[in-house]
Amino acid sequence: MTAPRSAVRQRRTRETNIAVHLAIDGGGQGEVATGLPFLDHLLRALAMHARFDLEVKAAGDLEVDAHHTVEDVAVVLGEALGEALGDRAGIARFGDATVPLDEARAMAAIDCGGRAYAMIELPLVGPSIGSLPATLVPHFLETFAARGGLTVHLVGSGRDDHHLAEAGVKAVARALRQGCAIDATLADRSASTK
């Protein structure tokens, strides 16, 4: 039996093979293997701080570079979240969070109502974090927002790229947890005046 508000998605192309199982009302368990350890680190942080249960298995053409794998994980993760949210009736829609990590600080504001937009301002300074090119951090979040029907605003500051990227993902996760939560006062109506 499938848990309510969950989704299983698989996507296979010539470049990647991605499998995602996402349960919104989980306990924060992340079982993640993408071949990119820092991406795994971020996805586990996302699961923990959104309190999703999340399994991600990815086999991508890392011999080319990390781009296809990161992008396609974001595609499948976003689609899984969209499917798990269903018609989005009864959800709080909006969430916001500020998360510090030592000298780094990130602030996220999110609308989970189905409008896809991303404004990601993370001033990462180095070319890469572990084996993950730094440019793929905002690209991951933009693609996730586009495919998940999320508006994501994220701004941050910090001196350490690892801290800044991690604080950014944690802030998005905390905001997602709020935005995806069921608001009982809505009694299954949409949180929209339309």
What tokens does 1 get?
A: 């039996």
> Quick one: which H or E segment has residue 169?
helix 161-180
What's the rounded Cα separation, in Å, for the pair 150 and 152?
A: 6
Listed ranges 53-61, 67-75, 131-139, 166-174: which one lies at the site for Mn ion (CB under 5 A): 166-174
Write b or e for each residue in 30-54: b if 16 or more Cβ atoms lie within 10 A of its Cβ, otherwise e: bebebbbebbbbbbbbbbbbbbbbb
What's the rounded Cα separation, in Å, for the pair 95 and 135?
A: 25
Q: Tell me: does residue 161 bind Mn ion (CB under 5 A).
A: no
Q: Which is nearer to Mn ion, 84 or 129 (CB)?
A: 129
Minimal CB distance to Mn ion: which residue? Answer: 166
Q: Which is nearer to Mn ion, 84 or 169 (CB)?
A: 169
Q: Tell me: does residue 142 bind Mn ion (CB under 5 A).
A: no
Q: Which is nearer to Mn ion, 39 or 112 (CB)?
A: 39
Q: Judged by CB under 5 A, how many residues of this single chain contact Mn ion? A: 1
Pick from 43, 166, 167, 168 the residue near Mn ion by CB under 5 A: 166
CB of 101 to Mn ion, least distance (A): 8
* Phi, psi for 41 (deg, rounded to 5): -60, -45
CB of 52 to Mn ion, least distance (A): 18
The residues binding Mn ion (CB under 5 A) are 166
